[in-house]
Amino acid sequence: MKPLFFDRRSGAFFALTFVVSLCLLAFSAGLQSAMAHNVTEGDAGYIQEIWGVHIIPFMYLGAKHMVTGYDHILFLLGVVFFLYKMKHVAIYVSIFAVGHSVTMLAGVYFGWNVNPYIIDALIGLSVVYKALDNLGAYQRWFGFQPDTKSATLIFGLIHGIGLATKIQDYEIARDGLIPNLLAFNVGVEIGQLLALAVILIVMGYWRKTHSFWKHAYTANVVMMSMGFVLMGYQITGYFVTT
């Protein structure tokens, strides 16, 4: 991973097309439901009516949540932005997966009551943090590079709490809770792999072009801006609902 400050002289067509299209697609699909924390009425109604172990439905819900979770995908994009080797991608994605798996399972099982707007604002902050990291801002401002693996784990833990708050909105029955949670987590990982595959394919083609280094600066600025938008949206939601 090689975070740098880039040449700012670019139209950034490819970067803007990729990142902004990702953001707009995610927002058009999910922003209107964000105030309800991404729990659709149909999904919530189905979960509230079933009892016992239902592996496939919970796997589907987990995959659906991750694939449509614009905040998680933006952070994942930031994490792999400058990772060229698959072993490095595997390490960082695994660290992120361990983090969000631990707090998701623990949060639901123990019923952690965390305000979802605060958690989602912190998830937006994770996007801002990673974009600034990719831009080399911490080296420029403070003269040192934070441990990227530790940061990925910490924000993974926060993302997991966000997942836990959304799962609790489903009001899952205690009967069969553990198998269903594990199935949901497997679905999340499947959805993460699907999203990661798309990101890596697009990034792979983009990195082969001469414009990558010229446009990468703009792409990360766009990601950072979207992180601030997510933070502002959730903070506004917190004050509106309290």
pLDDT of residue 43: 62
- For the chain, the domain total comes to 1
The runs of H, that is alpha helices, within the chain are 13-30, 41-49, 55-68, 70-80, 86-109, 116-134, 137-142, 148-169, 177-207, 212-241
pLDDT of residue 45: 61
Torsion sign (Cα): 81, 85, 86, 92: negative
Q: Does residue 6 form part of some domain? A: no
**pLDDT over threshold 60, residue 10:** no
Q: Does residue 98 form part of some domain? A: yes
Q: Does residue 5 form part of some domain? A: no
Q: Does residue 125 form part of some domain? A: yes
pTM listed for this prediction: 0.81
Place of tokens 């997942």: 163
Q: Does residue 7 form part of some domain? A: no
Which of 78, 7, 66 has its CA nearest to residue 38? 66
Note the pLDDT tens digit of each residue in 191-226: 999 999 999 999 999 998 888 888 898 899 989 988
Structure tokens given for 228: 């601030």
Note the pLDDT tens digit of each residue in 76-131: 999 999 999 999 999 999 999 999 999 999 998 898 888 989 999 999 999 999 99
Model confidence at 14, in pLDDT bands (50, 70, 90)? very low
Which of 13, 2, 26, 30 has its CA nearest to residue 199? 26
Q: Does residue 202 form part of some domain? A: yes
Q: Does residue 2 form part of some domain? A: no
Which residues are CB-contacts of 163 (< 8 A; sequence separation ≥ 6)? 65, 100, 103, 104, 107, 188
Q: Does residue 188 form part of some domain? A: yes
- 88: domain range? 13-241
Structure tokens given for 151: 């940061």
Model confidence at 174, in pLDDT bands (50, 70, 90)? confident
Q: What DSSP designation does 174 have?
A: S
